[in-house]
Amino acid sequence: MKNPLSPFGSIYIVTALIFLITSITAFTPTSINLISKIESDQLPMPPLILHIHAASMSLWLLLICIQSMLINSKKYALHKKLGIASIVLATTIPISMFGIDITNINGGLELSNSNTQEFLINYSGLLLIHGVSYLFFPLFYVWAIVSRRKDSETHKRMMMLATAVLMIPGIGRLIMFSKVLPDFGLIPIDARHLYMLVLITPAIIYDVYTRGMPHRAYLIGLGLLATWIVSAHFIWETIWWIEFVRKLFVL
């Protein structure tokens, strides 16, 4: 039976497309602007790690869309073959993201010419914002892989959650740079977490519509995310967190 809420036939296809469209909307304007400045020699070529991350994230979002379509079309053999590619991407994405953060921190430190408090606040905040991706993407992805054979329902939902936590940088651009999304007066990390949850909401609503309640995978996943969201709110710009980042990077 086709999904009554979706013209595409599957809530997973719809959710994957929401992720893809959000990312395109977030990064296309800044990417075009960056290319223009590089061509006019206003900016140097970005470091290799940025290209690696951009390529791996783009491929991941495309893969999630294709995999959802393959399952909906019952092309299980091809779905399994392409699943191997996800292992490579799932390794590359968090490593390249952390590499970009380290590059930005080192670059910011050089520009600041000193270990100013403002510098530490900015970059300790950046690491905390990306913390949800660092912590939960590997967890949700591994959970999805482990459950793929015996529990396909958990597998599908965990892949959606794993992708949702990767959307934080794109959401940040929509709030901070293009200002497509309002922040409602929230602190930066809370605003990003809010929209991250909004992106996964259609899938949750569909579960409630068809099952009467969200699948346990969503309940557990959202419970873990809620713990992080509340914790990150209270950690934000605290002295001990800023000092931890200082010691972590020997600043």
Token look-up 């000092």 returns: 243
Domain contains 103:
yes
Q: Are 189 and 232 in contact (CB under 8 A)?
A: yes
Q: What span, in angstroms and rounded, lies between the C-alpha atoms of 205 and 96? A: 33
Per-residue tokens: 233 = 């709110």
Give the count of beta carbons closer than 10 Å to the beta carbon of residue 87: 11
Domain contains 1:
no
pTM of this prediction? Answer: 0.91
Domain contains 4:
no
Res 107: pLDDT: 66
State yes or no: pLDDT of 235 exceeds 90: yes
Domain contains 195:
yes
DSSP assigned state of 113? S
State yes or no: pLDDT of 7 exceeds 50: no
At residue 118 the predicted structure's pLDDT band, cuts being 50, 70 and 90, is confident
Question: Could you give the number of structural domains in the chain?
Answer: 1
State yes or no: pLDDT of 72 exceeds 50: yes
- Residue 43's domain spans which residues? 11-248
- What residue type is 202 in one-letter code? P
CA-based radius of gyration for the chain = 19
Per-residue tokens: 145 = 């892989």
State yes or no: pLDDT of 159 exceeds 70: yes
Task: Quickly list DSSP for 140-204.
Answer: HHHHHHHHTTT-HHHHHHHHHHHHHGGGHHHHHHHHHTS--S--TT--HHHHHHHHHHHHHHHHH
Domain contains 199:
yes
63 CB-side CA count, 13 A? 21
Q: What span, in angstroms and rounded, lies between the C-alpha atoms of 105 and 20? A: 28
Please indicate whether residue 122 or residue 75 has the higher confidence score (pLDDT): 75
At residue 142 the predicted structure's pLDDT band, cuts being 50, 70 and 90, is very high
Give the count of beta carbons closer than 10 Å to the beta carbon of residue 147: 17
DSSP assigned state of 130? T
